[in-house]
Amino acid sequence: MKTELHNLSIDERLRLVEDIWDSIAADQGALPLTDEQKAELDQRLDIYELDKNMGRVADEVIDVIKKKL
């Protein structure tokens, strides 16, 4: 299998990883959250509800990261 993966272009491998990740995300019930993760999410939601900061658009964040590379 490893050799077969190396026959794919980087773009094809990235698409494969994205497809795998999307399939995992679609089945969120298969990965239950720990109590610590639930507490962290609750804390982040509480902070958001206080300041309503929507954050930044993903494309903007990605551009900043790419410029740093």
**Token couple for 46:** 């509480």
More confident residue, 3 or 43: 43
What residue segments make up the domains of the chain, in order of their start?
A: 1-31, 33-69
CB 5 within 8 A of CB 13: yes
CA distance 47 to 41: 10
How high is the pLDDT of residue 68? 94
How high is the pLDDT of residue 35? 96
CA distance 35 to 14: 32
CA distance 22 to 17: 9
How high is the pLDDT of residue 1? 62
5-59 tens-digit pLDDT: 889 999 999 999 999 999 988 887 777 889 999 999 999 999 999 998 888 899 9
pTM of the model: 0.43
